[in-house]
Structure 1
Amino acid sequence: MTARTESGGIRMSAREVWTLTVVCSAVAMVIAAAAALNSALPAMALETGATQSQLTWIVDSYTLTLAALLLPAGALGDRFGRRGVLLAGLAIVAVASAGPVWLDSPTWLIAFRAVGGIGAALVMPATLSLLTATFPPEHRARGVAIWSGVAASGGIAGLLVSGLLLEHWSWQSIFVGFTGVSVALFAVSWTITPSREDRPPRFDLPGALLAVVAVGSFVLGMLEGPIRGWTDPLPMTALVVGVLCAAVFTVVELRRAEPLLDVRLFRNREFGAGAASITLQFLASFALFYLIVQYMQLVLGYSPLQSGLALAPMIVPTMLLSAAIPWLLPRVGLRWLSVAGLVCAGLGMFVFARVDADSGYGATVLALLIYSVGVGLCTAPATHAIVDNTPDDKQGVASAVNDTTREIGAAVGIALAGSLLAATYSRGIEPAVQAVPEPAKEPVGSSLAAALQVAKMAGPPGDQLAAFARSVFMDGMSDAARALGAILLVAAVVVGVCAPGRKHPDAEIPDDSSDLVSLTDRD
C-alpha cells in the first residue's frame, strides 16, 4: 500500500519517486547542454580555428533543431510510446555528444550539435508527458512542479558543470560528460513505466511539417538577426516564412479531425496565459544569462567556474518555490501567482540594471535572488496551466507546447538582449574607435571582448581603453536590463487581465499541506 505521512497525506511511492528522478535528470541534461558550451567557446576557437560565425552556430544549431522538432516529437510520444521516444532521444544525444571527441572540426561540431538537438527534442516532451500520463492525480501537481523547477535551473547547472570541467580538462571533456550521462540515463530509463495511449491519434504529417518550418524559420531569424543585422535578407526572410507558415499551420489544424495541435486550446484562458507566461519567463531568463555571463567574465574577471558558482544561488529560491506551488496554486490561483512572479522578475531586472563595474558581486546576487523568486512563483503554475488543460491523449503535445514556448522565448530573449547591447555599445564606443589605429578600429567597435584583447596587446597604455570599453558595455547592459524589466511588468498586467483566478474560491482547502492535488481534481 502507498505510505501516508503522519498528517494523513499520501506520499509518492518508491516507483513514482524513481520515475521523477529519472525524467528530471533527463530534462536537466538536455537544457544544460544548451548552455554548457558558452563557457568553452574561447578555448574551442583557439584549438579548432572556428570563426565567430562558426562558434555561434556550434551553440545555435542545437537550439534550432530542438525548437523546430518539439511539437512533432511530442506527438510521436503520444502515438508510439513516451518511454520509447525518451530512449530514442537519449541514444541520439549520446551519439551526438561522443562524436566531437574524435571529429572536432568546426563543421563537424555544428553537425553533431544539430543532431544532439534532434535527440533533445525527443527527450524534453517525453519527460513531462511521462509524469502527467503515469502519475495519479494526487501526485501529478507535485511531480510537475518539481520538473518545472529543475527545467528552470538546468541552464545554470550546465554553466556550473562546464566551468568545473574546464578548470581541469579541455573543452572535449564537456562532450565526454554528456556522453556518459546520456548512456547512464538510457540504461536506467528502461526501468520506468512505459506510457502509450490505447487509441492514439493518427500522426498529423502536414501539421508536423508546417510546425517544423514555422518554428525553425522563426528561431533561425531571431538567431541570425543580431549577427547579420535585422535588414539582412536571411533573418528577414526567415521571420516572414516563419510567421506565414504559422498562419497556414493554424488554418490547416482547424480543419483537421485529428490535428497535431488543437489551436483552439489557446482560447482556454489558463492554457493561453500559461503559454504566454512561459514564453516571457524564458525570454527574460536567457537574455539575463546572455548579459550576466559576459558581465561576470569580461567586467568582473570571473573564470567560467566562478561564473557558474556565482549564478548557483538562483537555483535555491526557484526550486523551493516550485516545490511549494502545488500547495499555493489552489489557494492563490494562476492569475496572482503569475502576476507576482512576473512583477518580482521585472523588479529583479531593474535592480540588475543599476549594477555597475564597481558594484561587485553583492549587488548582482541581490538582483539574481529577486529575479529567481519571481521565476519560482510563476514557472510551475504556467506549466500546470498547459498540461492540466490538454486532453490525456495529447499530453506529449502539451509537453511540447510547454517546451516550444520556452525555446521561442529563449531565442527572442537572446536576440533582443544582443541587439540592445550591441546598439548601445556601438554608439558609445565610437570615440574610442576614432582614437585607435586603423587595424584596431573594427575589433574595438565590435565587442567588449575584442576591445579588451586590443587593450591587452597595447600594454599599460591600453588600460584607459579597457576601462572606457567596460563602461560603455555596462551602459548597454543596463539599457537591455531595463527594457527586459519593462517587458516583464507589462506582461504582468496583460497576464493579470487574461488569466483566470482561483478556480473555486469558496471551496474548502484542506489543512494538510501535503495533500497536493492537481487543478484537474478541483474542476
Structure 2
Amino acid sequence: MPDSPALPSPPRVPEAVHRRRWAILGVLMLSLLIVVLDNSILNVAVKTIAAPAPAGLGATQSELEWAINSYTLVFAGLLFTAGLLGDRLGRKKVLLFGIVVFGVGSALAALAGSPAELIAYRAVMGFGGAFVMPATLAVLINVFERDEQPRAIGIWAGGVGLAIAIGPITGGILLEHFWWGSIFLVNVPVVLLALVLMAWLVPDSKDPRPGRIDLTGVLLSVLGLVLLVYGIIRGGELASSTDVEVLVPVLGGLAVLVLFVLHERRSDHPAVDMAYFRMPAFSAGVAAVALVFFALMGVTFFSAFYLQSVRGYSALQAGLLILPLAIAQTVFAPRVRLVVERFGAKAVCTTGMLALAVGLGAFAFFDASTPVWVMEVVFFLQGTGMAHVMTPVTVAVMQTLPREKAGAGSAINNTFRQVGGALGVAVLGSVLSAAYRGEIAGHLGAVPAGLRGAAGESIEATLGVAEKLGPAGKALVQPAYTAFVDAMHVTALASAGVAVLGALVVARYLPGRAPAGAPGPSAVPERPAEAGESVR
C-alpha cells in the first residue's frame, strides 16, 4: 500500500497577521531607520557642534567623541538585556517603550545648551535605541513564515545599510539650512508617526514559557559589556591599547563576561543557552557580523576625514559620494536569498567578504587626486560585498533559534555587531592615529612647543594649528594631507585583513548549500505554536 502523502505543516503565523506582514515590515523599517541613521548623521555635524555659540556648542575634541560614544556605550551595554525583556514582556511593548525614550532623548538633545547636556541626552537616545534594534528583528521573525524570512531579513539588512549611508546626506542638508540641533529634532515627527503605526499594525509576541528571570546573568552581561565597550572607546580616544585607563576596563569587562558564561552554563534558567554557540551556523554568523562591522566602521571613520579634510568636499557632498554603498545594499540585500538558494550561504558569504576586503583595501591606493568615479566604484563594491554577507549570516543566526527566542537571538546578533563596530573604530582609529603621528612628527619643528603635541593628534588638529599660526602655518597643510593619506593606506590594509579573516571564518564554519527539500540552518526545532500564545 503506498504511503500517504505528507501533509503540509500548518502556518505558524495567524492569518490576520500574515495578511499585513509587509505593512508591519515597513513600520519596523521606519523605527529602525531613525535609530541607525542618527548614529551616522552626527558624524557630519561634529565640526558645527565644535564651533562657538551660537553656531555650535563650543565642544572640545574629547566632548565631541563622547557625544558619539555615550550613545554607543549605553546602546551596546543594554542590547542583550533589551532582547531578553522583549522575549519575556512582549516585543511590541518593548518596541513602543524604546521608540518613546528615543524620541524624548532626541528632543532633549536638539535643545541641549552645553556639551555635557548633549552627551547625557545622547545616552538617553542610546537607552531607547537598545530596546528598538533587537525588537524589530524579533517581531519580523514572528510575523513571517520561515520560507519568507530570508527575503524579509534581506530588506531589514538593506535598511540598516541604507540608514548608515543616507545619514550623512540628511545631516548635510539639514546643516545647510538649519541649526545643528535639527539633526536630532527631525527624529521627533518620525517617532510620532512610527508610534501611531506600531500601535495600529504591529502584533505583540513573546516567549510563552520564559521561565524565571536570570537576574544575575542579566546584571553580569550589562556590567561586562559596559566595561568592555568603555575600555574600547577609551583606547580609541587615547590611541593606545596599553594605557591603564584602557586595560583596566577591558580586562575587567572580559573577566565579568567570562563569569557570565560560566554562570549561564551552570544555571537551570539561563538568560541565554550557551549551547547555541556550539552550533556552527550560529557561531559563524555572529563572528562574521562582528568582523564585518569591525572592518567597515573603521574605514567609515577615516573616509569621512579623507573626503572632507583632504579632498575638500562639504558634509553634504561627502554624504552623496558614499551613496553608491547604500544603493548597492538596497538593490542586492533583498535579492541575496536567490543567490543563496543556488550556491549556498557559505559560498555567497565567503565571496561577499572577499569583495568587501577588496573594497576596503582599495583605500590603500587612494591619494589626494583619485578620480571620483573610482571612489564611487569602490563604495559600490563595499555595499555589494556587505549585502552578500549581512543577509545570509543574519538568516543563519535567526533561523538557528526557535521563534520564542527571537529577541535573544536578535540581541546577540546586534551586540556582536555593535561591539565589533566599536572595536573597529577604536583599534583601526588607533592605527590611523599612530601612523599619522609618526608621519607628521618630522614637520612640526616650526610649531611652538606648547602646540606641538596637540598638532600631531590628527589631521584636523594639525590644520587647526596651521590656521592659528596664520601665514607661518601654511607650510603644515600639504604635509598634513600627505601624512593622513599615508596613514590611511596602512589602516585600509589592516581593515582588509580583518575582512579576509571573516572570509576564512565563514568558509570554514558556515553551512554550505542545503540539499533540495532540506530544512534551513536551524539546529533547534521550533515548538509548535499553541493558539494565541506566540503572536497576537
TM-score range, shorter chain: over 0.9
Give 1:434's aligned amino acid.
Answer: G
Which residue of 127, 131, 135 corresponds with 1:126? 135
Alpha-carbon contact 2:162-2:327 (below 8 Å) kept: no
Per the alignment, in what secondary structure is the counterpart of residue 502 of structure 1? Answer: coil
Aligned to 2:21: 16
Displacement, 1:440? 3.7
Aligned to 1:512: none
Give 2:482's aligned amino acid.
Answer: S
60-69 or 40-49, larger mean C-alpha shift: 40-49
Per the alignment, in what secondary structure is the counterpart of residue 138 of structure 1? Answer: coil
Displacement, 1:458? 4.2
CA distance in structure 1 between the aligned counterparts of 2:204 and 2:336, rounded to whole angstroms: 27
Aligned to 1:144: 153
CA distance in structure 1 between the aligned counterparts of 2:110 and 2:416, rounded to whole angstroms: 32
Per the alignment, in what secondary structure is the counterpart of residue 354 of structure 2? Answer: helix
Displacement, 1:462? 3.6
Q: Which runs of 5+ in 1 are unaligned?
A: 1-11, 510-516
Aligned to 1:479: 490
CA distance in structure 2 between the aligned counterparts of 1:96 and 1:73, rounded to whole angstroms: 17
Which residue of 124, 133, 136 corresponds with 1:115? 124
Per the alignment, in what secondary structure is the counterpart of residue 25 of structure 2? Answer: helix
Which residue of 23, 45, 53 corresponds with 2:50? 45
Alpha-carbon contact 1:203-1:260 (below 8 Å) kept: yes
Alpha-carbon contact 1:386-1:402 (below 8 Å) kept: yes
CA distance in structure 2 between the aligned counterparts of 1:225 and 1:471, rounded to whole angstroms: 25
Aligned to 2:39: 34
Displacement, 1:304? 1.1
Displacement, 1:453? 2.2
Question: Can you list the C-alpha shifts for 1:24-77, whole angstroms capped at 9, x where unaligned?
Answer: 121121111222111111221223222221111111000110000011100111
Which residue of 383, 405, 409 corresponds with 2:416? 405
Aligned to 1:172: 181
Q: Which runs of 5+ in 2 are unaligned?
A: 1-16, 526-536
Aligned to 1:437: 448
Give 1:222's aligned amino acid.
Answer: I
Per the alignment, in what secondary structure is the counterpart of residue 149 of structure 1? Answer: helix
Which residue of 350, 355, 358 corresponds with 2:369? 358
CA distance in structure 1 between the aligned counterparts of 2:125 and 2:71, rounded to whole angstroms: 6
Which residue of 285, 309, 322 corresponds with 1:298? 309
Aligned to 1:105: 114
151-160 or 267-276, larger mean C-alpha shift: 151-160
Which residue of 88, 101, 112 corresponds with 1:92? 101
Alpha-carbon contact 1:342-1:488 (below 8 Å) kept: yes
Per the alignment, in what secondary structure is the counterpart of residue 213 of structure 2? Answer: coil
Count of aligned pairs between the two proteins: 504
Per the alignment, in what secondary structure is the counterpart of residue 318 of structure 1? Answer: helix
CA distance in structure 2 between the aligned counterparts of 1:96 and 1:405, rounded to whole angstroms: 24
Displacement, 1:522? 13
Displacement, 1:137? 2.1
CA distance in structure 1 between the aligned counterparts of 2:297 and 2:114, rounded to whole angstroms: 27
Give 2:58's aligned amino acid.
Answer: G
Question: Can you list the C-alpha shifts for 1:333-375, whole angstroms capped at 9, x where unaligned?
Answer: 2211111011010011121210001114222222212211110
CA distance in structure 2 between the aligned counterparts of 1:345 and 1:91, rounded to whole angstroms: 36
Aligned to 1:332: 343
Per the alignment, in what secondary structure is the counterpart of residue 156 of structure 1? Answer: helix
Aligned to 2:464: 453
Which residue of 269, 282, 306 corresponds with 1:258? 269
Question: Can you list the C-alpha shifts for 1:376-435, whole angstroms capped at 9, x where unaligned?
Answer: 111100100110001221100001011101101110110122111111111111111123
CA distance in structure 2 between the aligned counterparts of 1:264 and 1:355, rounded to whole angstroms: 45
Per the alignment, in what secondary structure is the counterpart of residue 429 of structure 1? Answer: helix
Aligned to 1:218: 228
Displacement, 1:518? 6.2
CA distance in structure 2 between the aligned counterparts of 1:215 and 1:337, rounded to whole angstroms: 31
CA distance in structure 2 between the aligned counterparts of 1:325 and 1:366, rounded to whole angstroms: 20
Displacement, 1:326? 2.0
Which residue of 289, 301, 325 corresponds with 2:300? 289
Alpha-carbon contact 1:137-1:521 (below 8 Å) kept: no
Displacement, 1:519? 5.2
Give 1:128's aligned amino acid.
Answer: L
Alpha-carbon contact 2:149-2:395 (below 8 Å) kept: no
Residue 195 of structure 2 is aligned to residue 190 of structure 1: no
Question: Quick one: structure 1 residues 484 and 102, their matched pair in 2 at CA, closer, same or farther if it must change by over 3 Å?
Answer: closer
CA distance in structure 1 between the aligned counterparts of 2:268 and 2:336, rounded to whole angstroms: 36
Aligned to 1:153: 162
82-91 or 149-158, larger mean C-alpha shift: 149-158
CA distance in structure 1 between the aligned counterparts of 2:213 and 2:83, rounded to whole angstroms: 11
Give 1:309's aligned amino acid.
Answer: L
CA distance in structure 2 between the aligned counterparts of 1:426 and 1:51, rounded to whole angstroms: 20
Give 1:189's aligned amino acid.
Answer: M
Give 1:121's aligned amino acid.
Answer: A
Displacement, 1:460? 5.0
Alpha-carbon contact 2:110-2:183 (below 8 Å) kept: no
Alpha-carbon contact 1:337-1:377 (below 8 Å) kept: yes
Which residue of 375, 378, 403 corresponds with 2:389? 378
CA distance in structure 2 between the aligned counterparts of 1:405 and 1:508, rounded to whole angstroms: 32
Instruction: Give the TM-score normalised by structure 2.
Output: 0.90
CA distance in structure 1 between the aligned counterparts of 2:523 and 2:241, rounded to whole angstroms: 47
Residue 241 of structure 2 is aligned to residue 230 of structure 1: yes
495-504 or 66-75, larger mean C-alpha shift: 495-504
Give 2:434's aligned amino acid.
Answer: A
CA distance in structure 1 between the aligned counterparts of 2:480 and 2:365, rounded to whole angstroms: 18
Task: Percent identity, please.
Answer: 33
Alpha-carbon contact 2:291-2:420 (below 8 Å) kept: yes
CA distance in structure 2 between the aligned counterparts of 1:98 and 1:499, rounded to whole angstroms: 43
76-85 or 195-204, larger mean C-alpha shift: 195-204
Alpha-carbon contact 2:150-2:391 (below 8 Å) kept: no
Aligned to 1:464: 475
Displacement, 1:491? 2.4
384-393 or 146-155, larger mean C-alpha shift: 146-155
Question: Can you list the C-alpha shifts for 1:158-206, whole angstroms capped at 9, x where unaligned?
Answer: 2221111111111110111012222221221102222223333332211
Aligned to 2:214: 204
Alpha-carbon contact 1:326-1:518 (below 8 Å) kept: no
Alpha-carbon contact 1:345-1:375 (below 8 Å) kept: yes
Give 2:491's aligned amino acid.
Answer: A
CA distance in structure 1 between the aligned counterparts of 2:469 and 2:398, rounded to whole angstroms: 57
CA distance in structure 2 between the aligned counterparts of 1:146 and 1:484, rounded to whole angstroms: 26
Give 1:211's aligned amino acid.
Answer: S
Per the alignment, in what secondary structure is the counterpart of residue 137 of structure 1? Answer: coil
CA distance in structure 1 between the aligned counterparts of 2:341 and 2:181, rounded to whole angstroms: 47
Give 2:42's aligned amino acid.
Answer: L
Question: Can you list the C-alpha shifts for 1:446-465, whole angstroms capped at 9, x where unaligned?
Answer: 11112112333444554432
CA distance in structure 2 between the aligned counterparts of 1:244 and 1:520, rounded to whole angstroms: 31
Residue 317 of structure 2 is aligned to residue 312 of structure 1: no
Alpha-carbon contact 2:400-2:523 (below 8 Å) kept: no
Give 1:395's aligned amino acid.
Answer: A
CA distance in structure 2 between the aligned counterparts of 1:419 and 1:490, rounded to whole angstroms: 20
Question: Can you list the C-alpha shifts for 1:251-298, whole angstroms capped at 9, x where unaligned?
Answer: 111112221111221110100110011101111111111011110110
